[in-house]
Structure 1
């Protein structure tokens, strides 16, 4: 350096050591964490996918029923296929689980809040009450008789040997005898007699009585003594008409695919289980003597209202159409003689059809 008195200037400054104290650290601002890099985001995604796959690999079928309210997070993570399998498996678990009638002795946190649906056992009312489906099935199955009205029906009373009936070469006289056989058989005339001379008047009397009794009884229920008496007489009449209908149908028509109730439905008196020790030793039911109990049981019996529905709704249309058809077809058939056997067969099959409907509705 020159000695001309000029000051020396260092080009590179000397670093001054800085002492870090606790007070100075407190005064320094807190730096925010660095944002996650791309590698960290990728790592989080891979961990998340691994957790989801691990949850899906767990066997969903368990002995315990599923919780009632599954979490929305897990539901959103699952794919559509997994949700479908969970729904099917949970339904199987619910159907296979047995619910105790005793109460919630084994209830846990995973027990559903709502009770599991059980298969109901057939109660007495459901067994005795014929449904609309049952009547419809009878109508459809019996309609085969209507479709094959004019076919010759085989009968055991036919005076033809088995070999002759089974052989393909049947003589002309045998065929003529088979065709005209209804003209000399009592069963065909019994069906005509019932449908033409008994069925229509019987239904007319029953419909007038039950319609008047139902209308006045339900209208006057506000005046309890009079309304109850009229309803009582209405139900008694319905049960009496139902028993008579079953008897007439089984007497004039057959063979039927539906059996009549045996024993028949009671009109009013009923049997009860013995209450005293002396009666119970006999081992047989005893007749009920309380009028109030008998009336109460009659009002609760579903067969009373089945008879009302049958005579007021089902039977009128069937009876009217059958009576008109017989009046239109039968006289010309007997005048011409040739179509008479076919018409008699048709009337007998229609009679069996309406008799099966009556038994199905009233049993």
Structure 2
């Protein structure tokens, strides 16, 4: 764990630089994903995470416990649930662990008053359209309630709630990246998911947020990526919003940089986006994979594969900048930097003035075992 902690800290900003961004305070590693009998600390990407009954739940996800994928390591989908009591100053105390009904990662997830909604995702069996509600009993035991299935099996989608409805959009289906959105009425869940206004473009690995503004329910969709006709991905710098009563998306100010797989929360002034993948290494690896598949020369394919392995094994990590969007000025600004290696492919969870960023991927194939917390000033 000490070696991993040093890696997490190696890109930290000097103290003076952190003080220059007072909007973010008290960064810390609040907890890690340990449990009784664990042989080693092992993080996950694509975890199910949210807050319910003053507890932070972190569950499922996927990792490579037996080695990096480019060296033959197999992706393993996890089932364990960690339940942390949130105490004063956002301290986390691991109360118990449990198991999901089955291993699952990369689901669309959001916290509601009734529990944490989990929609779709994937496992070793393939893409899923199953939906659950995770909650805790009066004695703190994990409870799982089935919800209606999504219309289409989807992974790497995003979700949010306006307290009455849960919205799920985008993601990857068997047919490719999608712009489809669906809505579930929490007051009448048996009616199932209904088609909603599609995103302006197909997107996966993006963020979907709800914010109440002047009595109106506004949805925001930002960042993400999608497959182009040439089979390669494009990363998005777009920010869109929708007043749910108008049922139409509006394009807002572009982000300072195109990002994928970052995390975000709603703030008093607007939105805050914590890092993400700029795609520099991703693009090169994806192009090499395509070239390897297309070449008929075994020697050339081996040479290209060596280049791919070198890129993946020397991955520099992800974008550490934090960006804030102000709804009044309609502008983005820099709000600081993560003082640890940036986790992507996870979900930022707000709690009062604090934000938790649990586990996630910090380099290609490398998962963080830590839960980062930060206070929004």
TM-score, normalised on structure 1?
0.19
Q: Which has the higher contact order (CA 8 A, sep 6+)?
A: 1
TM-score, normalised on structure 2?
0.19
The structure with the largest strand share of the pair is: 2
